[in-house]
Chains A and B, each alone.
Chain A
Amino acid sequence: MIRVFALAPLIIAVVVGGFFLWGLDPDRDPNALPSTLISQPAPEFSLDAVAGLETPGLARADLVQGQGPVVVNVFASWCVPCRAEHAVLTRLVEDENQTLYGINYKDKPEDATRWLAELGNPYARIGSDLSGRAGIEWGLAGVPETFIVGGDGTVLYRYVGPIVGEKAVGIFRDALEAARVWDKEQGQGS
């Protein structure tokens, strides 16, 4: 009996140590939060266009059009990493003819318009979320975040942070490919 008690600390330490080893995996980001939206229908929201911009607003209805996976990017002019990400997204639209929608998060319309005029506007639609309420619907923790939504409105993927750098772009591209394949299997056009 005493032997059992005496061995217990060692056994517990080994088990806990195993979990620690798992936790130290360099690919694991302790700060990353899994999205509850994955494999769920896109949240209900309806945003007007950014005032002063020709680009139309964005609502849930636009996501269920059945035209292949759509990229929904949350951005703001005050978000410094979004600048770098902008080029990546523009390339996506131009090279692969990818449909790109945007949510302008807590941004003054004048600032957003100026920012887009300076960098270019690759977005087919932009919803203006001044209050941040739509952001909550999407489970937003910060900016930028980018979602891939399937043709039927199912949220397939979320990327947190700017899609900048070879590794990030690679990961996102793979996710986009997978989304397209999934969409085709669902019987939607692309």
Chain B
Amino acid sequence: MTPEIGHFALGLALALALIQSVLPIWGAARNDRLWMNSAQWSALGQVVFVGVAFAALMSAFIKSDFTVVNVVENSNSFKPMLFKVAATWGSHEGSLLLWVLILAIFGALVALLGNNIAPRTKARTLSVQAWISVGFLTFMLFTSNPFDRVFPPPLDGQDLNPLLQDVGLALHPPLLYLGYVGFSIVFSFAVAALIEGRVDAAWARWVRPWALAAWVFLTAGIALGSWWAYYELGWGGWWFWDPVENVSFMPWLMGTALLHSAIVTEKRGAFKSWTILLAILTFSLSLLGTFIVRSGLLTSVHAFAVDPQRGLYILGLLALSIGGSFALYAWRAPTMEGGGLFKPVSREGGLLVNNLILATATGTVLFGTLYPLFYEAITGGDKLSVGPPFFNASFIPIMLPLVFVMGLGPFLSWKRADLVASGQRLKYVAIVSIGATLVVWAMVRGGPVLGYLIILLAFWLFFSVLREWAMRIRLFEVSFSEAWRRARNLPRSAYGMTVAHAGLAVLIFGLVGSSVWKSEEILFVKSGDEISIAGFDVTFTGAEKVRGPNYIADQGTLEVYRDGTWLTTLKPERRFYPVAQSTTTESSIRSTMAGDLYASLSEPASEQAGAQGAWTLRILYEPLVIFIWIGSTLLVLGGVLSLTDRRLRVGAPRRRSVQGAQVPAE
């Protein structure tokens, strides 16, 4: 019965979405309060009904209801409960339901919290949001129904791919979708603004918190996915430039540009068409991601089942939403008034450079990802692939100047900056950065020049962030207690920037350290063998069988010493899942600030070694890799700090009677 309730609820949600698609926006055109306010109710109704549907699907998984096809295909009675719950969004149909749920949640949030948004803008925004919902709800109900039943029910389900049965991966889709779909509301705001024909600082102020929230979730989702790949896949890699990874990265790049562009629109009224375009682009890239993952267009580890029919439907959705919004943009953008003037060397100029570099990077990644398709179409069947060498060679050189500009930017004043004065302030930052890099070079010789260059830039960014904070609180210029008072009274969004930019520097250290200075040992080991790597002495003491809830594993034991002192025991496993008939590697990792010692075990491929009772052991040492996760956390933290800033709360600022209050540069 519950699946039917869920199915019916989806139908009700669709009905509400259809109403919300028409009434509010028509009401806005006619200035009819009643019709505009209907959006409140339909948005709340939608989230209730889609929530019911989602709960229905989840309860089917929890109960292991094998009359539901989706449960049969993705779950199994022996699966641990956490993964049964996570399987709700583990399939194409389930993840679509999650998509629609988050779409509805954001719509409802705007309905509930958007009391300071102009009613007509709000109504139009909610209508646009409803258009997207209609698209996805009809897609689900007509082609990808999660509530399809099967009779008679099989005795047990097929089990989810064991590779996906992991806590990190269970959380990865919800976080990613909160990010992707979170940008839908920014898209809706932008389209509403284009329809209205008006973009101003107030609009930018409304949009920023939503964009920030979506960006925070997307950052967390991507980082979680990378972290999962790092500890699960067995060879310590964390980014593969896989088409689906790229497709989650591009909205992040554009979302970052959007956040910064919106600041300029809010403070100076400039960059209006940029910000609108970025708002549309970010969500368009999210939609593109949805399309690529579900249509079977490109091959990828991540892709759901190949189905060109579904692909055509989504392509239609894309044509309407992306094509429509771009057409609207082409029509309206030229009529948007330009904002304040500014010189090339200024805060605006710096942020413009930021926008352009991020756009160049995104364009490059997009082109590289889609190129195999273009090539195949043009040559009529020849295939080639574009892999990490291309992306690394193009992406990194594009981003490096951005890191430099990030350090300089906050020191440039709005409208017209004094480059010499800013340079003076940064003199010591430059000197310290160079010094620090030389220290690193002295400690770890032998890396490529590019590695040291990137470290130099990361130091530059890190120290310039600190210098900026020191400048704001006038550290060393006023008394310590005065500086402390200033530090306590700095707005949260200032700390948000400080933490986030510093986080990026930390992240870059992690990226460089773990890739450039990585060391690796691969050998056959028998009980008692000793291995030396990166100053550690590791002894393999043998492997034994252990049982898990739905797997049997061979677990190896490694004792790690350094200079004779015992440090830790590593226990890598090789698991076999009988139902899914597949094996996975569970690596064992010892993490410290200095680096990760990472061990994976497997049966040897050669028969002789196997006969001798030997195992294949892979040990890696990745310096600083933990900084990647710390840096990502700092990015998220910075975003959250900014979000909690009182001044960024949704709504236009109240008109202050005293106009003289200084707004600190941000």
> Which A positions have Cβ atoms within 8 angstroms of B?
2-3, 6-7, 9-10, 13-14, 16-17, 19-26, 28, 30-31, 33-34
* Residue B273 is within 8 A (CB to CB) of chain A in the complex: yes
Q: Which residues of B contact A23 (CB under 8 A)?
A: 295, 297, 373, 376-377
Is B383 within 8 A of A9, CB to CB?
Answer: no
- The interface residues of chain B lying within 8 Å CB-to-CB of A31 are 299
- Expressed in whole angstroms, the minimum distance between the Cβ of B619 and any Cβ of chain A is 28
Secondary structure class of chain A's binding surface, majority of residues = helix
Of residues 50 through 106 on chain B, the ones whose CB sits less than 8 Å from some CB of chain A are none
Stretch binding the partner chain, chosen from B22-30, B133-141, B327-335: B327-335
Q: Mark B265-292, 1 if CB is under 8 A from A, else 0.
A: 0000000010001001100100000010
Given A13-B322, A30-B306, A34-B383 in contact, is the A6-B295 Cβ separation under 8 Å?
Answer: no
The 5 closest A-B pairs by CB, nearest first: A10-B326, A6-B333, A9-B326, A7-B330, A24-B308
**CA of A146 to CA of B286, assembled, Å:** 41
Question: Which of B312-320, B479-487, B629-637 contacts its partner?
Answer: B312-320
A7 to B315, CA, bound (A): 21
Contact, CB under 8 Å: B374 / A19: yes
Which residues from A are CB-within-8-Å of B376?
Answer: 23
Set of chain A residues within 8 Å of B563, measured between Cβ atoms = none
Interface residues of B (CB under 8 A from A): 273, 277, 280-281, 284, 291, 295-299, 306, 308-309, 311-312, 315, 318-319, 322-323, 326-327, 329-330, 333-334, 370, 373-374, 376-377, 381-383
Q: Assess the B318–A17 pair: CB atoms within 8 A.
A: yes
Closest to B328 in A: A10
Nearest CB of chain B from residue A15's CB, rounded to whole Å: 9
B334 and A25 contacting across the interface, CB-CB below 8 Å = no
* Chain A residues in 8 Å Cβ range of B309: 26
Known: A6-B330, A10-B330. Contact between A30 and B296, CB under 8 A? yes
B280: A residues at CB distance < 8 A = 9
Q: List the B residue with the shortest CB-CB distance to A8.
A: B330
Beyond A17-B315, A26-B309, 10 extra complex contacts between A and B, CB < 8 Å: A2-B333, A7-B330, A9-B277, A9-B281, A17-B323, A21-B315, A23-B295, A30-B299, A31-B299, A34-B381
17 contacts across the A-B interface (CB closer than 8 A): A2-B333, A3-B330, A6-B329, A9-B277, A9-B326, A10-B330, A14-B323, A17-B318, A17-B319, A19-B370, A19-B373, A20-B291, A20-B373, A23-B376, A24-B295, A24-B311, A33-B383
A140: min CB distance to chain B, Å: 16
Residues of A within 8 A of B383 (CB): 33-34
Q: Given the complex, which residues of B lie within 8 Å of A13, measured CB to CB?
A: 284, 322-323, 326
Q: Is the beta-carbon distance between B330 and A9 smaller than 8 angstroms?
A: yes
Flag if A34 contacts B382 (CB, 8 Å).
Answer: yes
Report the minimal beta-carbon distance from B313 to chain A, rounded to whole angstroms: 10
Contact B329 A26 (CB under 8 A): no
Closest to B295 in A: A24
In the bound complex, residues from chain B placing their C-beta under 8 Å from that of A2 are 273, 333-334
Q: Are B329 and A24 in contact (CB under 8 A)?
A: no
Closest chain-B Cβ to A160's Cβ sits at a distance in Å of 13
Docked pose: A21 CA to B319 CA in angstroms: 11
Q: Which residues of B contact A22 (CB under 8 A)?
A: 377
Chain B residues with Cβ below 8 Å from A33 are 383
Give the shortest distance, in Å, between B295 (CB) and chain A (any CB).
Answer: 6
Q: Which of A10, A17, A25 contacts B329 (CB 8 A)?
A: A10
Whole-angstrom CA separation of A20 from B377 in the bound complex: 10
How far apart are B575's CB and chain A's nearest CB, in angstroms? 23
- A174 to B334 Cα, complex, angstroms: 57
Taking the nearest CB of chain B, how far is it from the CB of A12, in angstroms?
8
A6–B308 CB distance below 8 A = no
Q: Given the known inter-chain contacts A9-B281, A17-B315, A24-B311, please indicate yes or no for A3 contacting B334, CB distance below 8 A.
A: yes
Q: Which of B273, B281, B284, B373 contacts A6 (CB 8 A)?
A: B273
Residues of B within 8 A of A10 (CB): 323, 326-327, 329-330
The distance from the CB of A181 to the nearest CB of chain B, in whole angstroms, is 22
List of B residues within 8 angstroms of A30 by Cβ? 296-299, 306
- Name the A residues within 8 Å of B281 (CB-CB): 9
Contacting residues, chain B, for A14 (C-beta < 8 A) = 323
A166 to B404, CA, bound (A): 62
Q: Which residues of A contact B299 (CB under 8 A)?
A: 30-31
Q: Are A16 and B370 neighbours in the complex by a CB distance under 8 Å?
A: yes
List, in ascending order, chain A residues with CB within 8 A of B306's CB. Answer: 30
CA distance A69 to B308 in the complex (A): 36
Q: Are A24 and B298 in contact (CB under 8 A)?
A: no
B495 to A: closest C-beta gap in Å = 35
The smallest beta-carbon distance between A31 and chain B, in angstroms, is 5
Of A17, A25, A30, chain B has the most CB atoms within 10 Å of the CB of A30
Give the complex CA separation of A14 and B298 in angstroms.
19
Query: Contact at B334–A6, with CB atoms within 8 Å?
Result: yes
Residues of A within 8 A of B381 (CB): 34
Residue of A nearest to B385 (CB): A33
How far apart are B335's CB and chain A's nearest CB, in angstroms? 10
Task: List residues of chain A with CB within 8 A of the CB of B334.
Answer: 2-3, 6
Chain B residue, CB-CB nearest to A25:
B308
Complex Cα distance A23/B383, Å? 13
Closest to B312 in A: A24
Residues of B within 8 A of A6 (CB): 273, 329-330, 333-334
Taking the closest CB of chain B, its distance from the CB of A33, in whole angstroms, is 6
CA A26 to CA B312, docked complex, whole Å: 10
Report the bound CA distance from A7 to B273 in whole Å.
12
A7 to B329, alpha carbons, bound, how many Å? 8
Chain A contacts for B297, CB-based, 8 A: 20, 23-24, 30
